[in-house]
Homo-oligomer: A and B are copies of this chain.
Amino acid sequence: MKKAVVLVSGGLDSATTLALARQQGYACYAVSFDYGQRHVSELNAANQVVEKIGVEDHKTIRIDLDGIGGSALTDTRIAVPDKPSKGIPITYVPARNTIFLSLALGWSEVLGARDLFIGVNAVDYSGYPDCRPEFISAFEKMANLATKAGVESANSNDGYFRLHTPLIDLTKAQIIQEGIRLGVDYSLTVSCYAADDKGAACGVCDSCRLRRAGFESAGIVDPTVYQ
């Protein structure tokens, strides 16, 4: 069985991505990040998601991003907006997916896994630059130059490490329909940027809005518990 490292945040998209990787026959190694995010209930959700879907191993890596600051998600002095904002919102965490993918890459190399799955989406999303296909493609190229595994397979044209982004072109409604088909229990997932300790969602942040609209558009009952 081929191994894959899958980034699991506890949200809707990454749960769907994990289910898709499993369906494609990968032995899945889930990785989550404790980066000082406001919404720690996300990490509880990640634990529940990986337990329900099933993985070979699950690692939660602590990173000191709250020491760096600069985002409403890691600095409690910056409020999470309750209205859509123009441009890239203040919930953007500087270099977040770059940092997450770098750590996932290191673990992949140790495991001998060449496939990494990340549930980024560039349709119904908050406009974060590190969710776009051009970023993913540049990261993949860099990863194959950065690593022993990448360099030692340099004769093969397609590189060693492959980043899989199965959701990148889907709408939120399509993601939900795909997940339902695969049996994902979305009641376990937490998407809200300002969820309470039990994972109840605010209903008004960008992430809540996208999620709620996705269930509506998909014609599926929203299992989210709101505050």
A130 to chain B, nearest CB (A): 5
Which residues of A in the span 100-147 have a Cβ within 8 Å of any Cβ on B?
A: 102-103, 105-107, 109-110, 129-130, 132, 134-135, 138-139, 141-143, 145-147
A-B contact pairs, 12 of them (CB 8 A): A62-B62, A62-B64, A68-B110, A95-B105, A97-B146, A99-B99, A129-B150, A135-B142, A135-B145, A135-B146, A138-B146, A139-B146
Partner of A102, one of B69, B95, B138, B148: B95
B129 lies within 8 A of A106 (CB): no
Q: Tell yes or no: A221 within 8 A of B by CB.
A: no
Asked if A98 and B68 make an inter-chain contact with CB atoms under 8 angstroms apart, the answer reads no
Do A130 and B146 touch (CB < 8 A)?
yes
- B92 near A98 with CB under 8 A, answer no
**Bound complex: CA A8 to CA B98 (Å):** 20
A91 vs chain B, min Cβ distance (A): 11
Contact mask for chain A residues 54-72; partner B; CB cutoff 8 A; 1 contact, 0 none: 0000010111110111100
Closest Cβ of chain B to A163, distance in Å, is 12
Identify the A interface with B (CB < 8 A): 59, 61-65, 67-70, 88, 92-99, 102-103, 105-107, 109-110, 129-130, 132, 134-135, 138-139, 141-143, 145-148, 150-152
Known interface pairs A62-B62, A129-B148, A129-B150; A98-B135 also in contact (CB < 8 Å): no
Which of A62, A105, A139 lies at the interface centre, i.e. has the most chain B CB atoms within 10 A of its CB? A139
Given contacts A145-B138, A146-B129, contact A110 B151 (CB under 8 A): no
A142 pairs with B145, CB closer than 8 A = no
- A98→B142 contact, CB < 8 A: yes
Question: Nearest Cβ in chain B — how far from A59, in angstroms?
Answer: 7
A110 to B93, CA, bound (A): 9
Q: Which of B61, B94, B107, B146 contacts A98 (CB 8 A)?
A: B146
Instruction: Find out whether the CB atom of B68 lies under 8 angstroms from the CB atom of A95.
Output: no
Q: Is the CB of B94 within 8 A of A99?
A: no
Contact in complex: B88, A94 (CB < 8 Å): no
